Structure 1
Amino acid sequence: MRSFAPNDSAGGSYRKAARRNDPSKSLYDHANRFFLSVVDRASGRHILPPEKAEEHRDGYVLAQLIAVVAPDEALRLSNELLDEFGSIGRMLGESEAALLRVLGTHGAVACLLKATGKFMLANLHDQLPRKLISGTDRGLIEYLQARMGSRTTEIMRVMFLDSSNRLLSEQEFGAGSPQRIFVQPRSILKRALELDASGIILAHNHPGGNVTPSKSDIDFTRSIKTLCLELEIRLHDHLIITNDRWTSFRKLKII
């Protein structure tokens, strides 16, 4: 079987705090929007005046949440986390050990951030329609962007559907780096057969932010489509995801 190595040219080098200077992205970061809604409901504590809060939205949102367990250190910890990881979305994708390298003795903050991230993903997952009309369903795109759009290495998620396009299961496949991911098509199709799935939706992220399919992306997709046809499994779509952009192979008429 062939291996999958998408996005050879997209890159994936991480620049500290790059997104903090791009409000058009940060304001629409799913993680930031979720955090903002949580802290606005859960806390009357205002870390910054309104004009400053708007100017420094990422830091404000994160500081409001941290203030629940560490009010005196909220601003400092928020700034240090964003300086290290660049955005709330990327921070959520880090391990607890990575967070503690920044937070030091503030283990309760690390636990709160990881728990909130898990709750955010569970909330988005619960909002997925029971029946997916297409691979570009808005709820699915938002879920995938929150789940994998800010990851610093490439990963693939596969959504397994029944004959009525209801979601049976989802699973992450492959070992990735910032530039590529290696996936065995047979592992995906083996799981589809185990679940008696009638269709699949593929999705992988491009850490570099470029949603243009690479040649290896296209070759892999056409290869797995051929295998799906032999097994009477429909490849509904293949999506490329970033934190704020996406593209569909079906809309591009690649499949």
Structure 2
Amino acid sequence: MAGSVEDNAGHRARLRQRLLGTGGDALLDHELVEYLLTLAIPRRDTKSLAKALLREFGGLAGLLTADSDAIQRVPGMGESAIAAVKIAHVAAIRLLRAEVAERPVLSNWQALLDYLRAEMAHSPIERVRVLHLNTRNMLIRDELMSEGSIDQAAVYVREVIRRAIDIGSAAIILVHNHPSGDPSPSRADIDITRAIIEAGKRLEIAVHDHIIIGTQGHSSLRAMGLL
């Protein structure tokens, strides 16, 4: 037993040195998760657990965005270990959101897509977000508008426009995810977008785009010529 503890300590020290020496570029995904778990489970070899988590959730992105209850169902994952995974996800989301907020959204489009994919692509339920922009197209509010079942979320034109008026938005970007993974817009997606555009015109609130996020990529209704 003492030998295994020493072996674990030596392995972790080597991981730590590689992390600090390369900034993490030299570490494989399972090694990143392994080291993260050692902070929450200091007396256990976490390599096999890290690999099991990545298998269960299909990779690092799936793990970080997974629901806490789903992570808990993996043997060996207690509250502290789950919290370690979720804090890594929260930190990543805040970093990406800060990059979006730094510049006008329309000239910072890739940063926006990176943020939305990290935030929504792996969600098991459909969520609708509205990004509120000022006259300079700077992000002033990012709001979760609704959450649906596994494949449907309700969006009400009047609520979207009323909220934009309350915030003082000059423009909005609609965003939602498809839990199926396929970001192709449905007929309902197109119809609701056009209805919001028409309602916004009367109040001089522009709708720049409707972005659909999925694990297979994203769709932009504007880029597809559907607005």
By the TM > 0.5 criterion, same fold?
A: yes
List alignment gaps of at least 5 residues for structure 2: 1-14, 20-25
2:79 pairs with one of 107, 122, 145: 107
Q: Relative contact order, CA 8 A, sep 6+: which one is greater?
A: 1
Deviation at 1:119, TM superposition (A): 0.5
Deviation at 1:129, TM superposition (A): 4.5
Match of 1:63 in 2: 34
Tell me how many residue pairs correspond in the alignment: 207
Deviation at 1:189, TM superposition (A): 1.4
1:198 pairs with one of 170, 176, 179: 170
1:176 paired to 2:148: yes
Deviation at 1:227, TM superposition (A): 0.7
Bigger radius of gyration among the two: 2
Deviations 1:136-195, CA, capped at 9 Å, x for gaps: 701000000000011111111111001111111010112222322212222221211111
Deviations 1:53-110, CA, capped at 9 Å, x for gaps: 98xx443332232233335331222133234333332333334343233255632211
Return closer, same or farther for 1:100/1:204 CA change in 2, 3 Å cut-off: same
Q: Secondary structure at the match of 2:40?
A: coil
Alignment check: 8 A CA contact 1:66 1:109 kept:
yes
Q: Which aligned pairs between 1:126-141 and structure 2 lie closer than 5 A?
A: 126-134=98-106, 137-141=109-113
TM-score (norm 2): 0.80
1:87 paired to 2:31: no
Alignment check: 8 A CA contact 1:128 1:140 kept:
yes
Match of 1:96 in 2: 68
Considering fraction of residues, name the structure with more helix. Answer: 2
Q: What CA distance in whole angstroms lies between the structure 2 residues aligned with 1:133 and 1:170?
A: 12
1:224 paired to 2:193: no
CA root-mean-square deviation: 2.5
TM-score (norm 1): 0.72
Deviation at 1:205, TM superposition (A): 1.1
